[in-house]
Amino acid sequence: MQAYLKAAEAAGFKLLKEYDQTENTMPTLDAAHHFIERFILPTAEYAQISLGAQKSTRYRLLKLLFGKNISSKMDQLDLVNSEEFRKYRKYMIYLFQKVCFK
């Protein structure tokens, strides 16, 4: 964060206002987390079980095409958890003004 602020200052920007928006985003993250837990995960699990039980060519093709993408997306679900987000991230808003040198 400090590197970003120093780079902005070096580029001729003056920080006018700094606001931590993190707490205001928590309801949105909680809603997204609930939606994922309630709808996305059960649907994905059902699709995997249904297609996997058939061991069809379609299943192997889908797994080949999307397997790595789905795995990486599943690993990112912790970022939607508001408690995890609060621990490791911040949602900051910065208001800068370009300083004109004459």
**Higher-confidence position of 25 and 59:** 25
Q: Report the candidate in 83, 90, 71 with the shortest Cα–Cα distance to residue 30.
A: 83
Place of tokens 């995997």: 48
Share of the chain above pLDDT 90, in %: 42
Between the ranges 15-24, 40-49, 51-60, where is the mean pLDDT highest? 15-24
Question: How far is it, in rounded angstroms, from Cα 79 to Cα 28?
Answer: 12
Q: How many domains does the chain have?
A: 1
Please give the model's pTM, rounded to 2 decimal places: 0.64
Q: Which domain does 16 fall in, by range?
A: 2-98
Integer Cα distance of 27 and 22 in angstroms? 10
Q: What value does the mean pLDDT of the chain take?
A: 85
CA distances from 26 to 31, 37, 41, 80 (A): 9, 16, 21, 9
Nearest to 29 by CA among 89, 70, 72: 89
